[in-house]
Chain A
């Protein structure tokens, strides 16, 4: 999905369509993402821009979730299974874009974030937001096609756009691409995420665990064996160990 901020007129139709589509209830406060707003339209530096889940190519949320409640589908959406979720909120901590929201006032809370209208998209349709957008500021398409369109626009109108396609490489690339006339960091989008997907940070440690376990196990086992053997030899020479008078555990005998 490509969102061109310069074309957005700030009508907020997408926000309403999203609330209706996802049955989020009508929340009057639309200042930021919340459990009632999978997306919001905000204005800053004289430009309207949208916030929503970026649908990362390698989603951090999916990597950190201990129960695998998030899945990146083949078509792009990062979807969420509330039945699996146990509410640890690690996804909220980890998401580099600060997207997932929580139902803090519910006794049965779930994570709230844009799911790219997965059902509509899977059925071959468009998302509610892109479908309703009167200006075509939000449009659907294949990522590669949209990238080409975006690049074309930036090249043709260097005066209008900042020379950056947000989401092309950020955090390893995202399914949502954004164009803007104002530098993205001025709108609160993190610009320092790098092109490397974040999950590799933890995976580089996690993948070492099997070898740590094997090495550690052999090391500890060997160490114990050597030490106990020496103690046995020693105590054999020194008649019997008085330790047996103790009622405690019989650790090394």
Chain B
């Protein structure tokens, strides 16, 4: 039964080691350069566009893509959809790692990362960023606690385990509240730039958009991660569970689209959306990524297959990633005079962080009881 956890690490040859080692070496070198020679030495950031790929991707996308943690623990523990339990652990683990990556990403992006703890003692409740900082900090703690049973089980500390388990519900509720707050607040962050952010994205509903898209992509990520784990770790795929989660995703997507479509109709008018600029293309691509899953699910509604759900989830993820980049980079570029395009170092260090995250995930799967021991015990739905 243990062998089930092994997957790629032992069964496959070690051909992946050299490229990964190379990524790590180059990553470390660029890290050194960034900390000793300043942000300008590795990024294309400038005074006209002070936020780039690291904020747009590492932080905004990172937080959104880690939303699987709160949506899944929510439906499993609060709404009591117990049959999804088997995916809770991997999801919580990836959410936890996601938030760690976000924090590490921030350590790269902040000009003076050694002051990252300052919001703890230097308060400015008028700042959205202050609120986000607190929520992310607290939520990371919640995720750590939610994940701790896995480690405690392994260590056999049954007494602490009992305490942590008794706290499950309050923790889940706190987690949902904190997530709701900071997922939406990342949209609020951009409310302060009404004239700088392109009108296709600027709306006072930004917090709502950010929250609903985070929920959608939360489900999408659970689906995608299960699918990838299935191939990577040779896990049995719980098709029913994923198809169900796909439904949740579709509902969340519809909600988000309704809000956005109303918003665009009232504020901008659809005929004004396309004007040939790069922004309008970016906006339409983003919208397409959100509409396509709905179309797919609608067309195949009677012949629902795993592939369709996975594809829909992939589109949702692409849409949310694009949305965050649109709001933080593409939509801001015009006001900065189009003077920024991420440097290869920025791309590479982001890639480096993601690689490290995946590596840690694989190690956790190898050494900790992440996936259920008896993968075949799936119950027929209903």
Decide yes or no whether B272 CB sits under 8 A from chain A: no
Q: Which of B4-12, B21-29, B77-85, B358-366 contacts A (4 or more CB under 8 A)?
A: B77-85
Closest partner residue, chain A, to B127 (CB atom): A66
The answer to whether B118 touches A190, judged by C-beta atoms less than 8 angstroms apart, is no
Q: Which residues of A are found within 8 Å of B192, using beta-carbon distances?
A: 60, 63-64, 93-94, 198-199, 201-202
A-B contact count (CB 8 A): 191
Q: Which of A81-89, A122-130, A175-183 contacts B (4 or more CB under 8 A)?
A: A81-89
The answer to whether A209 touches B131, judged by C-beta atoms less than 8 angstroms apart, is yes
- Total count of chain B residues near the partner, CB < 8 A: 71
The answer to whether A34 touches B47, judged by C-beta atoms less than 8 angstroms apart, is yes
Distance to closest chain A CB from B291 (angstroms): 28
Q: Which of A66, A104, A201, A228 contacts B38 (CB 8 A)?
A: A104
Decide yes or no whether B301 CB sits under 8 A from chain A: no
Decide yes or no whether A239 CB sits under 8 A from chain B: no
Q: Which of A87, A93, A104, A105 contacts B115 (CB 8 A)?
A: A87
The answer to whether B195 touches A102, judged by C-beta atoms less than 8 angstroms apart, is no
The CA-CA distance from A243 to B181 in the complex, in Å, is 33
Decide yes or no whether B89 CB sits under 8 A from chain A: yes
Of residues B37, B82, B149, which shows the largest number of chain A Cβ atoms within 10 Å of its Cβ?
B82
Q: Which residues of B are found within 8 Å of A231, using beta-carbon distances?
A: 80
The answer to whether A206 touches B126, judged by C-beta atoms less than 8 angstroms apart, is yes
Q: Which of B112, B189, B194 contacts A90 (CB 8 A)?
A: B189
The answer to whether B128 touches A67, judged by C-beta atoms less than 8 angstroms apart, is no
Distance to closest chain A CB from B177 (angstroms): 5
Q: Which of B165-173, B231-239, B243-251, B274-282 contacts A (4 or more CB under 8 A)?
A: B165-173
Closest partner residue, chain B, to A216 (CB atom): B177
The CA-CA distance from A86 to B130 in the complex, in Å, is 12
Q: Which residues of A are found within 8 Å of B204, using beta-carbon distances?
A: 201
Q: Which of A33, A108, A209 contacts B181 (CB 8 A)?
A: A209
Please list 6 pairs of residues, one from A and one from B, whose beta carbons are closer than 8 Å in the complex, sorted by A's number: A202-B126, A223-B79, A228-B80, A231-B80, A247-B153, A250-B165
Binding site for B on A (CB under 8 A): 32-34, 60, 63-68, 84-90, 92-94, 96, 98, 101-110, 190, 192-193, 198-199, 201-203, 205-206, 209, 212-213, 216-217, 220-221, 223-224, 227-228, 231, 243, 246-252
